[in-house]
Amino acid sequence: MLNFARCSGSRPVGCRYFSLLRDKNFIGGEWVAASSGKTFQVTNPVNDKVIGIAQDSTPEDAEKAIKVASGSFNMWADLPAKEKGIKLKSLLKLVNSHSDDLAKLITAECGKPLAEAKAEVMYSAGYLEWYAEEAKRIYGEVLAPPNNTRELVVLKEPIGVVGFITPWNFPLAMLVRKAAAALAAGCVCVARPAEDTPFSALALAALVEKAGFPAGTFNVVTSSRSQAGPIGQALCASPQVAGISFTGSTAVGKILYQQCANTVKRLGLELGGNASYIIFPTADLSRAVQGVMGSKFRNAGQACVATNRVLVHESVFDKFSSMLATAVKTQLVSGDGFDPAVNQGPLINEQQFQKVDGIVKDAVSKGARVVSGGGIHPTLKGRFYQPTVLSNITEDMKIYNEEIFGPICPLYKFYSEDEAVTIANSTRRGLANYFYSNDYAQVWRVAKRLESGMVGVNEGLISAAEAPFGGVKESGFGREGSRHGVDDYVHTKYVCFGGLQN
Ligand code: NAP
């Protein structure tokens, strides 16, 4: 039972398509309750009001979903690529025609401003469009044989059932990014979304059903946080699951990596980042400030590719920090994401809120200077943290080493290119880095030296369906988006045709 009239205080959200609101698991094309009979409440992070209930599933439910997915695999895998593409295009059409309602759902359960939620829906649609087209382009190879008695062929075959575990910060996009590539490749899937945001995944399932995907190809099993570990374990342990694709923290990614060893599964890990944002002396400071505003404060800093450390050359440090402080004070408005004036929502949950507050308090207690903000929002109730800029950061502070995942922007002064690159690379994370420079030689040099899967040059928002998204080091492996995004979902099979010449 869902009560969207209450999901934004007393104002109704006004979803037109109530068919998108689902409170059951989607298994084998049917909407079913958890076998435990238990449910859990999902709340709006703006005001903690209950927006609906979802099924508190257990490994038993995940195993049911794995079984039906497994049963549907051959039929989906054997469907001609063109037809898989047509199904994905139907889903794309439905996502586009329900974009307002999907966006409202995202804002209601994860708190991000409605404009950002709409951008997330469009971003998700971009992956559906890309993989609807890419389904036809998953090519094998014909190789030059060593002699004339053979022909050598390489086939790309779908790996089978894949398990998806997704986070709350982009509850639709993180699932679509995986599912679109997997379905295009011919795989079938079982998804377990985060406790905080199950409804976006269920809404996607409702559209998958409407698009006419065969039963069992796409399944969603929701649960409370207490069952996240056991369900994850069931997915990793099952010999019927060929691969796991996970987006989330490095800590959980490492657990899943270990759990997948026993069955030697294919694994895609999109883990946490620690992005540096370097401003060199030749940078266009106005553009660099706007770049940080997007990269740092989008979704109140709760993004894996969010800028974590801003490194500013000493020659432009004072000017840049003053420009940034002005932008933060004048451009950012905190509040309920359904208010069109708001561009900063709350932090997702109490745990995240305490973590961010702890990081700021630790930095300030060790000598950090508050340039702007610096604490809990003075007037808004709930988990709103003031957009904050800090300087005088030192290596012994938590903020130097940890992924902040909140609207906190620490500024560091550097004196040479070498020093900046060394600082940026002095982390076990390697998801994204950004830098601003108009020195042509420096641009190429630094782009090559930065140890991350993605680099933004004079650009703060770089993710797109056309490009490979993913990390190096402890930010994981595997890529989502682009033609590389199907690699996690296909086996390479070599077939040797012999005896061709008598
Ligand atoms: P998290 O704690 O790792 O949770 C991610 C998902 O894993 C959630 O669905 C969570 O469920 C589930 N989970 C938790 N413990 C599990 C376990 N033992 N076994 C199986 N599943 C488990 O991450 P988070 O803090 O919610 O999300 C933020 C993190 O995700 C950040 O580090 C961020 O950088 C990263 N992220 C990375 C990318 C990328 O593409 N690289 C994109 C977005 C986010 P519950 O939420 O119900 O506990």
CA distances from 394 to 221, 320, 349, 429, 433 (A): 44, 19, 28, 19, 20
pLDDT of residue 387: 97
Which tokens hold the place of 311? 């490194």
Catalytic pick among 63, 109, 120, 270: 270
Instruction: In whole angstroms, give the CA distance from residue 349 to residue 357.
Output: 12
Nearest CA to ligand 1 atom 48: 225
Fold of 11-271+477-492: Aldehyde Dehydrogenase; Chain A, domain 1 (3.40.605)
Q: Answer yes or no: same fold for 11-271+477-492 and 275-464.
A: no
- Please say whether the beta carbons of 221 and 62 come within 8 A: yes
Of 235, 238, 249, the one to substitute when testing ligand 1's pocket (max ligand atoms within 8 A of C-beta) is: 249
**Answer CATH for 275-464 from 3.30.9.10, 3.90.550.10, 3.40.309.10, 3.50.50.60:** 3.40.309.10
Distance of CA 205 to CAs 217, 278, 466, Å?
10, 41, 24
Tokens (6 digits) for 406: 């909140």
Taking the C-alpha atoms of residue 122 and residue 115, their distance in angstroms, rounded to an integer, is 11
- pLDDT at position 171 is 98
pLDDT at position 21 is: 86
Per residue in 282-335, pLDDT tens?
Answer: 999 999 999 999 999 999 999 999 999 999 999 999 999 999 999 999 999 999
Atom in ligand 1 nearest the alpha carbon of residue 271: 41
For the CA of 476, the nearest atom of ligand 1: 41
Contact 128, 180 (CB under 8 A): yes
Best probe residue, ligand 1, of 168, 265, 402, 462 (max atoms within 8 Å of C-beta): 168
Q: What is the DSSP string of 279-341?
A: E-TTS-HHHHHHHHHHHHHGGGG-STTSEEEEEEETTTHHHHHHHHHHHHHHH--BS-TTSTT
List all residues 6 or more positions away from 18 whose beta carbon is below 8 Å from its beta carbon.
none
pLDDT of res. 501: 80
270 is catalytic: yes
Check 63, 304, 403, 417 and give the catalytic one.
304
Ligand 1 pocket, residues with Cβ under 6 angstroms: 165-169, 174, 194-196, 225, 228-229, 232, 247-249, 252, 255, 270-273, 304, 403, 405, 431, 471
Class of residue 81 by CB neighbours under 10 A (exposed 0-12, middle 13-18, buried 19+): middle
Tokens of residue 267, six digits: 């694994």
CA distance 500 to 10: 76
DSSP 116: H
Determine how β-strand 161-165 pairs with β-strand 188-192: parallel
In tens digits, the chain (502 residues) has pLDDT values of 444 444 444 344 444 445 688 999 999 999 999 999 999 999 999 999 999 999 999 999 999 999 999 999 999 999 999 999 999 999 999 999 999 999 999 999 999 999 999 999 999 999 999 999 999 999 999 999 999 999 999 999 999 999 999 999 999 999 999 999 999 999 999 999 999 999 999 999 999 999 999 999 999 999 999 999 999 999 999 999 999 999 999 999 999 999 999 999 999 999 999 999 999 999 999 999 999 999 999 999 999 999 999 999 999 999 999 999 999 999 999 999 999 999 999 999 999 999 999 999 999 999 999 999 999 999 999 899 999 999 999 999 999 989 999 999 999 999 999 999 999 999 999 999 999 999 999 999 999 999 999 999 999 999 999 999 999 999 999 999 999 999 999 999 999 999 998 6
Residue 273 CA to residue 293 CA, distance in Å, equals: 18
Asked if 424 and 311 count as a contact pair (C-beta separation under 8 A), the reply is yes
**Domain range summary for the chain, segments of one domain joined by +:** 11-271+477-492, 275-464
Spatial contact of 227 and 57, defined as CB atoms under 8 Å apart? yes
What is the rounded CA–CA span in Å between residue 54 and residue 224?
A: 9
- Alpha-carbon separation of residue 231 from 12, 31, 191, 222, 388 (angstroms): 34, 19, 10, 10, 37
Residue type, 3: N
Q: Which atom of ligand 1 is nearest to the CA of 192?
A: 9
Residue nearest to atom 16 of ligand 1 (CA): 229
Q: How far is CA 185 from the centre of its chain?
A: 20
List of residues 6+ apart from 43 with CB closer than 8 A = 49, 50, 51
Give kind and range of the element (H or E) at residue 243: strand 241-247
